[in-house]
Chain A
Amino acid sequence: MAREKFQTLTEQMFYILLALEEECCGVDIMERVQQMSGGRVQVGPGTLYTLLDRFLQEGMIRQTRSEGRKRSYILTETGREMLEEEVRRLVRQLEDFKRIYRRKGEQER
């Protein structure tokens, strides 16, 4: 089900899931993503809220704690599989890129 809905992950989806490798409070995810990406990726609060809701519905993350409105989440096995699948896809892309450019470089030499 989750795989059908999230066939590929956008950069922001990817980093939110990555940030939840360790338990994290919803609001703090924005900062963690920024730190993890060296400030390159910034997740907006609306996007974060929507994605957390969808990830929860799809069982990709689960809620660990709730103090008032402050809720913490962590990645589930399904979420981790999705993340790893995305990494494999990205690696394949990178390998394809390298192979084609290597061949092109050899031909030029």
Chain B
Amino acid sequence: MKKRQVELFQFNDFETISQHLSRMAEKGWILEETGSFFWTYRQEEPARRHYTVVYNRDASDFSPGPTEEQQTYRDYCRAAGWEYVCNWNKNEIFVSDRENPVPIESDERVKLENSWEGLKKLVFRNYSLIVVLILIQWASFGWLYCQSPDQYLSNGPLLASSVLWLMLLIYLLFVMVDTALWYRSAKRAVEAGGRCPQGNYRLRKMMACWMMVCSAAAVLFTLWWVLKQENRWIMLPSMGVILLSMGLGFLLRKKLKRTGVSAKRNLILVMIFQLLVMFAAISALVWWGISSIEARQEAGSIPYTVTNNGHTMTFTLYRDQLPLTLEDLGYEVDKDIYSYRLDQSSSPVFSKLEGDQDSYASLAGEETWDLSYTVYRSLWSDPLDRLTAEWQERNDQLEWEQPGTTEREDLATLWGAQRAWSDGGREMMIRYPKCLLLLRTDVQLKEEQVEIIRQKLNLDFQAEE
């Protein structure tokens, strides 16, 4: 009988891993194989066994078999009563049935130097690189937030990944600080003739658990968000591509190991293969997605042709269900010449709703009215301030064709809002504490129409408070 168990150890938890494996053996569970998270145990008669974990720079998950040096190392260990079990990244695990075996690493100074050699590479070289990448990623998130807060904040997966990157950054910094502190205390202890200390395993395990919970929460949230989206039939396979690439990469790594390909070549080939699989799968999905979206839009829309000065133009009329229409405001319109288009995106902290009721008949000289609105809702005011400033800046640059934006107290009073601005033309910006309305229309709104808009778009100032 076999069982797989989640094990959350850190690279330098040598003593803790050894003690844990000995305890498992006493319960009748013998370690067979290690993995990134899951370790496999097989059931045997409970026995007292000693385990030990040592760093070996030649050990690798990609290696087809032990190198000459590793074999020599194992010969030495065998002569001292230690049998090789398996490797865990750059660490090798040995077991001994002897009552009091000579420790594999009997000199604490040499043991510390060996461990430090591995830790320097893994923690201070590899993790530092990941930290730099996370900081670059966060800088790009910051840039996106400043440029387009609505696009950034209403994108659930992007927000989830931001939080996840932040958690990973905290975790990596914790590991780096913890390792540096461990090394300092180990060095002091060894110089004083003592043994390398174990480190705070409980805290390390707690941090690793926290990281796992955060990752699971981010994945579940992204899944939940994607399932709510209209384009989930494209997004879900995109998420599957990552799993597919990881799964195929794992299989290829095993296959190359069996065929005796060197560790370095195996690593490079697996990375190239995974990149190619992701590139091919995502290209196919994008192509399929675009053609599917076009097909769906064509299926749910009507072509509309306008002739102006002898030129014929064809537009698409959409038939989405808008929360507010010109008809709601009391206007009688010919629905056949209007397009009703709705776009929505939201996350737990921000939402954006865009509604457009346009008529292309105006291009043919017919007198029509248009109505266009965007409602932003945010948990905090900064994104709304940025959107307002961006709108003002954009309109003020068009001063040569309109007077520019001005704050209008009368509009704010009419809308029961905190503040209001007008561009002097057909656009206005209405600001509530946690909500912002950008309205674009040709019609001169009366008090009762404003009331209808507030109700239909849920802009009630009192309710907002």
Contacts and interface: CB of A to CB of B under 8 A. Distances in A.
Given A30-B80, A47-B107, A42 B73 contact: no
B105 interface: yes
A44 B79 contact: no
A27 interface: yes
A61 to B, nearest CB: 15
A101 interface: no
B106 A42 contact: yes
B373 interface: no
Interface of B: 54, 68, 71-73, 75-77, 79-80, 82, 102-107, 109-111, 113-114
A10 to B, nearest CB: 6
Given A10-B110, A45-B79, 18 more contacts: A10-B107, A27-B76, A30-B79, A30-B80, A42-B102, A44-B80, A44-B102, A44-B104, A46-B54, A46-B76, A46-B77, A46-B114, A47-B104, A47-B106, A49-B72, A51-B110, A69-B71, A71-B72
A56 interface: no
Interface in A1-56: 10, 12-13, 26-27, 30, 42-51
B68 A50 contact: no
B80 A47 contact: no
Of the candidates A13, A26, A49, the one having the most CB atoms from chain B within 10 angstroms of its own CB is A49
A77 B327 CA distance: 102
Given A30-B102, A69-B68, A45 B76 contact: yes
Contact of A45 (B68, B80, B109, B113): B80
A50 B77 contact: no
B322 to A, nearest CB: 73
Given A27-B79, A30-B79, A30-B80, A47 B72 contact: no
A79 to B, nearest CB: 17
Nearest to B193: A10
Nearest to B114: A50
Contact of B107 (A26, A44, A69): A44
25 contacts: A10-B107, A10-B110, A26-B76, A30-B76, A30-B79, A30-B102, A42-B102, A44-B104, A44-B107, A45-B73, A45-B79, A45-B104, A46-B77, A46-B106, A46-B111, A46-B114, A47-B104, A47-B106, A47-B107, A49-B72, A49-B73, A50-B110, A51-B107, A51-B110, A69-B71
